[in-house]
Chain A
Amino acid sequence: MSATEIRVLCNGEHRRLAAGRTLAEHLPQLTQACDFAVAINAVFVPKSAYAETRLVDGDRIELVIPMQGG
């Protein structure tokens, strides 16, 4: 892994992303959904915190959308 890259797990899939960027900057790469919510390392990240949340190597990202439920 180069210093300019981090490896993360997004919804169970390995992804390589540019290092030193925030969640807000990465999101267009991670989802096309309009309605979604995020947890990093099993901790909820509110929308208001996207711009100040910096992803680091090894982060586990859960990105969820509305789904049918009972």
Chain B
Amino acid sequence: MWQLAEQTLDSRLLIGSSLYPSPRIMQAAIRASGAGVVTVALRRQLPGAGGGDDFWAALRELDVRLLPNTAGCHSAREAITTAQMARELFGTRWIKLEVIGDDYNLQPDPFGLVEAARELVAQGFEVFPYCTEDLVVCERLVDAGCRILMPWGAPIGTARGLLNPYGLRTLRERLPDITLIVDAGLGVPSHAAQALELGFDAVLLNTAIAQAHDPVAMASAFRHGVSAGRLAFEAGRMPERDLAQPSTPVVGTPFWHQQ
């Protein structure tokens, strides 16, 4: 059990609701993942644009907490208005704050992010900013009132894992009281395990499960990866060494003789 804002959760995996082959597979994958928090979005109602009743009905059958996002916003103003609409539509003050600064790699705009976070915290939101692993940006977000930070592992949908473990480890060491969640860029359960081993509180992912050949099986695999990583962190890893050290006792080795 762990605490995310005011919510007590069993799972340290947060999961997205997008890109699944069907709403039924989405539902089965979310169940298999064990996740207690699911990200959602809001979009214009357009004919043939997905979403709609099937998706929403499948999601509402699940006993999960929703985390709406501001995906696609390119300015603090857009993100703030989107967050306000999300709060009413989904009945939650939680918001995954995305302000995109570069369309090529969907890199967050740190300036827009800090501006929007400050305003949304003032309006009573629990802000989950999707940010880079830059320590100073993260400190500014904490100054703005964020208690949770979600640095990327790698750009969204790339499946490349933790590109900067040093930066992520530094964040964990420097911000011990902040809830840290690696969001985006994970591809396989070992990536999730690595994030948890570093002491991150949780991971959030979507594409790695939704676009797997068997999303339900992959959801289960990530569930185990997250559990293994957390257990390893709590167990306390041994230090790294430069030189080999035998694990089998040396004393009494047969055929040994003094040179």
Closest chain B CB from A43 CB (angstroms):
7
Contacts of A69 in B (CB 8 A): 16-18, 39-42, 68-69, 71
Contacts of A31 in B (CB 8 A): 45
For the A-B complex with A35-B56, A65-B44, A67-B50 known, give 19 more contacts whose Cβ atoms are closer than 8 Å.
A38-B85, A39-B84, A44-B81, A62-B44, A64-B42, A65-B42, A65-B45, A65-B56, A66-B40, A66-B56, A66-B89, A66-B90, A68-B20, A68-B55, A69-B16, A69-B69, A70-B17, A70-B41, A70-B69
Given A35-B56, A37-B88, A39-B81: A68 touches B44 (CB 8 Å cut-off):
no
A to B CB contacts below 8 Å, 16 in the list = A11-B45, A31-B45, A33-B45, A35-B89, A37-B85, A64-B89, A65-B42, A65-B45, A65-B51, A68-B18, A68-B50, A69-B39, A69-B41, A69-B68, A69-B69, A70-B207
State whether B42 touches A70 (Cβ < 8 A). no
B174 within 8 A of A: no
Contacts of B156 in A (CB 8 A): 70
Contact with A along B5-25 (1 / 0, CB 8 A): 000000000001111100000
Q: Give Cα A67 to B77, complex, Å.
A: 21
A54 within 8 A of B: no
Given A44-B85, A69-B71, A70-B206: A37 touches B42 (CB 8 Å cut-off):
yes
Closest chain A CB from B123 CB (angstroms):
10
Closest B residue to A66 by CB, please name it: B56
Q: Give Cα A12 to B45, complex, Å.
A: 11
B78 within 8 A of A: yes
Q: Give Cα A36 to B89, complex, Å.
A: 6
Report which of A46, A64, A66 forms a contact with B55, defined as CB distance below 8 A: A66
Chain A positions within 8 Å of B, measured between CB atoms, are 11-12, 31, 33, 35-39, 42-44, 46-47, 62-70
Given A35-B56, A39-B81: A64 touches B88 (CB 8 Å cut-off):
no
Q: Give Cα A39 to B88, complex, Å.
A: 12
Q: Give Cα A65 to B51, complex, Å.
A: 8
Contacts of A64 in B (CB 8 A): 42-45, 85, 89
Closest chain B CB from A26 CB (angstroms):
15
Ordered nearest first, which 5 A-B pairs have the shortest CB separation?
Answer: A69-B41, A70-B16, A70-B206, A37-B85, A44-B84
Contacts of A63 in B (CB 8 A): 44-45
State whether B81 touches A70 (Cβ < 8 A). no
Closest chain B CB from A54 CB (angstroms):
20
State whether A67 touches B40 (Cβ < 8 A). yes
Contacts of B136 in A (CB 8 A): none
Q: Give Cα A63 to B85, complex, Å.
A: 9
Closest A residue to B85 by CB, please name it: A37
Closest B residue to A39 by CB, please name it: B81
State whether A67 touches B19 (Cβ < 8 A). no
